[in-house]
């Protein structure tokens, strides 16, 4: 039986990138792992198939209350998948919903949390959720933000960007590693080395750099263009868009920047995301 390591983030913040890196690293892949086989290595906290063991209710009809009833048991079942660490993707905030924790800490060993500048997050949310930019800004501040149940997933509960970030990172914990998306972009070798150190791994330089290369945005985008990606939302042209930082400078109006900073200043300041003109 393994213990869970959560790969946590607000949506569109680099979670899939981290999953792909770890998959390539752990399998010591000699060529990029198949993007559509990520769930062979990492589980999803909202995957409905796990709930079918406990209830005949179709996933799309499952209420939040019913999902909450089985959530702790489902997450305990996750530990049976691998004998050692079990990596689980989650966009849930760290807290309770319907009186039940969103994460089973009794079977948790640790977590890696990825935080990304919300000024760029909103740009990625627009095509992903098929919303306008102003609607994405509203979702970013919505404490009830999340997804509705579907045939394949139970509801997810993000909360606002600030709540999501704060819930995971406000209390220092040696079992938690917080990574900035921007650092992964700018200093990939040093940043991903921090990840392997946190996990107690000592890969060779060649193995580490190969995993970084095989999980690069360029490689992931090329894979999606060639074979598609099953996690691409219906209606979205692509899952992987730009993979850059500070695109907001050319795409957000000053008023939109001000709204986001006003909504999320405390957490943005913690991670150095408040532009000088809005300090």
At residue 2, the pLDDT reads: 75
- Angstrom distances, CA of residue 112 to CA of 5, 121, 247: 7, 18, 25
Q: Where in the chain are the domains?
A: 3-117+142-232
> pLDDT digits over 224-253, tens only?
776 666 555 555 555 555 666 789 999 999
How confident is the model over 166-193, as pLDDT tens digits?
A: 999 999 999 999 999 999 999 999 999 9
Q: How many CA atoms within 13 Å lie on the side-chain side of 213?
A: 10
Give bridge partners of residue 113 from the DSSP assignment. Answer: 8, 178
pLDDT computed for residue 279 by the predictor: 77
On whether the pTM is more than 0.85, the answer is yes
**Residue range 196-207: mean pLDDT, rounded:** 96
From the CB of residue 279, how many other CB atoms can be counted at a distance below 10 Å?
8
Domain topology for 3-117+142-232: Rossmann fold (3.40.50)
At 272, the pLDDT band (50, 70, 90 cuts) reads very high
**Which of 12-16, 32-36, 106-110, 271-275 is least confident?**
32-36
Using the predicted structure, report yes or no on whether residue 138 has a pLDDT greater than 80: yes
Residues in contact with 234: Cβ distance below 8 Å, sequence separation at least 6, in sequence order: none
Residue of 277, 278, 275, 264 whose CA lies nearest to 10: 264
- Token representation of residue 33: 């792992």
How high is the pLDDT of residue 48? Answer: 96
The answer on pLDDT for 51 being more than 80 is: yes
Higher-pLDDT residue of 56, 218: 56
């Amino acid at each position: 039986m393994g213990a869970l390591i959560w790969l946590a983030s607000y949506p569109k913040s680099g979670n899939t990138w981290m999953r792909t890196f770890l998959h390539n690293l752990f399998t010591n892949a000699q060529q990029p792992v198949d993007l559509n086989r990520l769930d062979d290595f990492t589980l999803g906290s909202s995957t409905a198939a796990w709930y079918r063991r406990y209830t005949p209710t179709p996933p799309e009809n499952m209420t939040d209350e019913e999902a909450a009833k089985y959530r702790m048991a489902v997450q305990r079942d996750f530990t049976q998948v691998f004998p050692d660490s079990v990596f689980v993707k989650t966009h849930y905030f760290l807290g309770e919903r319907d009186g039940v924790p969103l994460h089973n800490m009794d079977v948790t060993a640790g977590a890696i949390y990825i935080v990304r500048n919300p000024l760029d997050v909103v740009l990625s949310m627009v095509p992903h959720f098929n919303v306008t930019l102003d609607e994405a800004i509203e979702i970013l501040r919505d404490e009830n933000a999340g997804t509705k149940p579907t045939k394949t997933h139970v509801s997810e509960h993000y909360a606002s960007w600030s709540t999501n970030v704060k819930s995971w990172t406000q209390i220092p914990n040696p079992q938690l590693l917080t990574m900035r998306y921007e650092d992964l972009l700018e200093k990939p070798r040093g940043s991903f080395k921090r990840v392997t150190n946190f996990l107690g791994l000592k890969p060779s330089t060649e193995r580490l750099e190969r995993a970084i290369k095989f999980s690069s945005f360029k490689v992931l985008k090329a894979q999606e263009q060639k074979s598609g990606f099953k996690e691409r939302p219906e209606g979205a042209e692509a899952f992987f868009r730009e993979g850059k930082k500070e695109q907001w400078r050319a795409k957000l109006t000053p008023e939109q920047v001000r709204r986001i900073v006003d909504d999320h200043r405390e957490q943005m300041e913690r991670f150095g995301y408040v532009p000088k003109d809005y300090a």
